[in-house]
Amino acid sequence: MEINLRDIQPADKTFLFTVYASTRADEMALVDWTLQAKRAFLQMQFEAQDRYYKETYQGAQYQITEWEGKPVGRLYVHRRKNEIRIMDIALLPEFRNHGIGSTLLEQILEEGRNRNLPVTIHVERFNPALHLYERLGFRQIEDKGVYLLMECAPMIMEKNESAR
């Protein structure tokens, strides 16, 4: 499986919006809005998220995930002195459940082991990926209402690695 990461370019904005909108599709299916209203709402939320990330996570790495040369998702990571924070990992629906996300997460966990740093991520409590994070060794460390803050500490990472 050929998975690559590349830095985001200005020309990627439409693709990034598509990825973001795909993560909100189930939510949008529940509201009785026109397609135009849904798109306007998603555009506003996408831009607000982008501003928040850039203001809150200065120095973060924003990348496009490519699979076999095709853009399939996004990965945003903020490396700090005391942790590696996965800010966002998302794939287009047709590329989910192919091992791409697991591979990316395992690479970040390996970096955490090598640097002896915990890896953290916020996840919505009903996100199907929660089970993947738990399988990889992430444990809830804080309940933030809609989101759970999860962490995979270096010691847990090593236990999971030896169990494979």
At residue 86, the pLDDT reads 98
At residue 1, the pLDDT reads 73
The structure tokens listed for 133 are: 């994070």
At residue 158, the pLDDT reads 58
Asked whether the beta carbons of 132 and 102 are under 8 A apart, the reply is yes
CATH assignment, 3-163: 3.40.630.30
Domain-by-domain residue ranges, the chain?
3-163
In angstroms, the CA 148 to CA 121 distance is 8
Q: Which residues contact 26 (CB under 8 A, 6 or more apart)?
A: none
Query: Which parts of the chain have pLDDT scores under 50?
Result: none
At residue 161, the pLDDT reads 58
Q: What is the pLDDT of residues 16-46, one digit of tens each?
A: 999 999 999 999 999 999 999 999 999 999 9
At residue 118, the pLDDT reads 97
Does the pTM surpass 0.95? The reply is no
